Structure 1
Amino acid sequence: MDGTRVWADHPTVSLAEFEGMVRAVSNWGRWGPEDDRGTLNLLTPGRVVAAARLVKSGRTVSMALDWNTVAGPDNPRPALHYVTQLGDRDPGEPQTNADFIGSDFHGKACSHMDALCHCDFRGKLYNGVPQGSVTSRGGTRGTIMTAAHGIIGRGVLLDVPRHRGIEWLEPGTAVDRAELEKVETAQGVRVGAGDIVLLRSGHVRRRNVLGVWDPHFLSAGVHPSAMSWLRDRDVAVLGADGDSDARPSPVEGMLSPIHALTLNAMGMPLLDNLQLEDVAGACASEKRWEFLCVVTPLRIPGGTGSPINPVAIF
């Protein structure tokens, strides 16, 4: 790394160094040349059963943002919601109400899952699939349908602001491998194979207190050097209250290096724009940072992702 230049709060990573990181964490071919599931292969039946045994109190906590129909700096393409039918229109009983929803969900305001076909690097999707396999009709490989039966496993929350003794990480902060290890040690938990790791930066708390800003260009997230830690631990899914990328990007010429390292190189789905304030409070009161995590994306053939409402069960 070039220690003479600092971007965010970590040294800038050259593109050559970044490409070395891509090679180091790559899972291409690990589960065969036709694999489209990537690290979801790590969510084995045995690990799902073990995760279910974490349920003790029965407490359930949503980890999704409310459906946001208000335009703003972080929501330039707001979701749609309007009522299409009111109960006083039709004769007879019972009366019914109905509504329509729509969303351009890949952004900063909707809790969603990124499928592996969402991100290409050097013209290739995960496992060497050509970028051209995604058309206006959708994708053919690595789509959201790989998670059609749900993502269920052990969730682990890593609460970085709590560890630092602050309310939130300032936008631009990039959390490195060493700090992730310190956080898990302080919380008395160890991330393991098949886990769904959720990183709290306090994004939602900061927005609620200080107001909205544009996270497309300024956000807290994970430093690329931390990806080797996720690979070493065989993490299945990474989620965050942002989109996991720190901005400005620590990598020269790359807007979203974490997306490339996870979705493309490791075949690791991302959970973006989660609301982790409630689950952080639940973890503190339950005095544990692990729980059963249930994520059920919509079944969208060819989809590059899906809105989600992940639930933590204690």
Structure 2
Amino acid sequence: MQRWTVRPEGSNWGDFGADDELGRVNLLGSEQVLKGVREVREGKVFCLSLPLDLPGGMVLNPRRKPPRLAATERDGVPYMNFAMETLDASAIDVLSDDQVTLSLQYSTQWDSLAHVGALFDPLGDGVAAKLYYNGYRAGEDVLGPDHAEDGHDCGSHGTGARKLGIENFAVKGMQGRGVLVDLARRYGRDRKLVGHAELMAVMEADKVVVEPGDMLVLRTGFAEVVMEMAGNPDADVLHHSCAVLDGADEKLLAWITDSKIAAICADNYAVEAYPAREREGRKSLLPLHHHCLFKLGLPLAELWYLRDLAEWLAQHQRNRFLLTAPPLRLPGAVGSPVTPIATV
């Protein structure tokens, strides 16, 4: 069955192939990896992940629970500090082995292209369907619990993305040249809606040049506020802190399209303001997600920790680096924790 004959205005559906599941991630080829490698001069490494038990609590998103670590068990016995002599009297080994229950987008994360879709009429027949990037369909390509009950094969997970799952990014590697734009250095920690004009002003002032295939990395200072709260986040403070992209700014969305960047990685929650500025008519509440994930196949990353990298780059009058950020190779997942590494 042909998934679509009409594609959303401004989308790139089909440009990378009828069955493409990578979108703009296709731009992260060997040439882009080499561009990143050429930015490595000191061999210095920065971890860009928060501790994955932050922000703490559930104030940022009431659906997402903090990770819960527990020992693995055998016959009801937890294997933490487990003396193997109980199995073999001659053994001197002590074994610890654990497991985790984790919301995959609780902390530092990637969104897959199956994370946000939209209602759209793909055949031009007046019938809207739930779709994702490149016309992949809810109920056929992205399955929920109701589809498992209908006898669909959802694998061992019960739900999941048959197409557009996060494992596609893992196989690709998510490595290339990162380019930092330091909004926190310009705007501080006050809440600031950043549209095209504001973003361009910062990039021009800091001599930041973004080229096709680059991964745009945005520091707002939000993750630093989260770190300082040490697992006890204040919802009101967080929702009124730091710069955030104005997803309702059409000029900003057009620039994202024209720039041909491969990804946007930010240190804040959702990358864009939620809910977006009020607009008339039927609309997306997350217009930047809609534009990037649904139309362009351009992945978004959230809650990265960028302070140390940003300070080092500023001291050395640089803004480019080798970025390596593969997600978990977890088939069917629509998001993933990630431990991004910047090498300078």
Shorter-chain TM-score category? 0.7 to 0.9
Q: Secondary structure at the match of 2:9?
A: helix
Residue 102 of structure 1 corresponds to: 101
Q: Secondary structure at the match of 1:127?
A: helix
Residue 135 of structure 2 corresponds to: 128
Moved more, 35-44 or 213-222: 213-222
Residue 233 of structure 1 corresponds to: 259
How far residue 221 of structure 1 moved from its aligned partner, in angstroms, is 2.1
1:10-66 CA-to-partner distances (Å, cap 9, x unmatched) read xxxxxxxxxxxx723x11121122111100111121111121111011111111110
Alignment partner of 1:67 is 2:52: yes
Q: Secondary structure at the match of 1:51?
A: helix
Alignment partner of 1:36 is 2:36: no
2:182 to 145, 156, 159: 159
Residue 327 of structure 2 corresponds to: 297
What aligned pairs does 1:189-268 form with structure 2 within 5 A after superposition?
189-208=208-227, 212-213=234-235, 220-224=243-247, 225=249, 226-242=252-268, 243-252=270-279, 254-268=284-298
How far residue 215 of structure 1 moved from its aligned partner, in angstroms, is 8.8
Greater gyration radius: 2
1:209-266 CA-to-partner distances (Å, cap 9, x unmatched) read 5752169966742123212112111000111112212133124453322111111011
Alignment partner of 1:119 is 2:116: yes
Count matched residues.
Answer: 286
Q: What amino acid is aligned across from residue 279 of structure 1 in structure 2?
A: L
How far residue 174 of structure 1 moved from its aligned partner, in angstroms, is 2.2
How far residue 98 of structure 1 moved from its aligned partner, in angstroms, is 1.7
The separation in 2 between residues aligned to 1:247 and 1:118, in whole angstroms, is 16
TM-score in terms of structure 2 length: 0.77
1:90 to 76, 84, 93: 84
CA RMSD across the alignment: 2.2
The separation in 2 between residues aligned to 1:48 and 1:249, in whole angstroms, is 34
How far residue 278 of structure 1 moved from its aligned partner, in angstroms, is 2.1
4+ residue runs of structure 1 moved beyond 3 angstroms?
Answer: 206-211, 214-220, 251-254
How far residue 169 of structure 1 moved from its aligned partner, in angstroms, is 3.9
Residue 69 of structure 2 corresponds to: 81
Q: What amino acid is aligned across from residue 93 of structure 1 in structure 2?
A: I
Structure 1 unaligned blocks of 5 or more: 1-21
TM-score in terms of structure 1 length: 0.84
- Whether the 8 Å contact between 1:163 and 1:186 is mirrored in structure 2 is no
Q: Secondary structure at the match of 1:248?
A: coil
% of aligned pairs identical? 30
1:179-216 CA-to-partner distances (Å, cap 9, x unmatched) read 22222222222011111111111112334557521699
Alignment partner of 1:54 is 2:39: yes
Q: What amino acid is aligned across from residue 234 of structure 2 in structure 1?
A: V
- Whether the 8 Å contact between 2:224 and 2:305 is mirrored in structure 1 is no
Q: What amino acid is aligned across from residue 132 of structure 2 in structure 1?
A: L
1:59-112 CA-to-partner distances (Å, cap 9, x unmatched) read 111111102174242264111123442234322233221221221123xx4111
Q: Secondary structure at the match of 1:118?
A: coil
The separation in 1 between residues aligned to 2:237 and 2:160, in whole angstroms, is 27
Residue 8 of structure 1 corresponds to: none
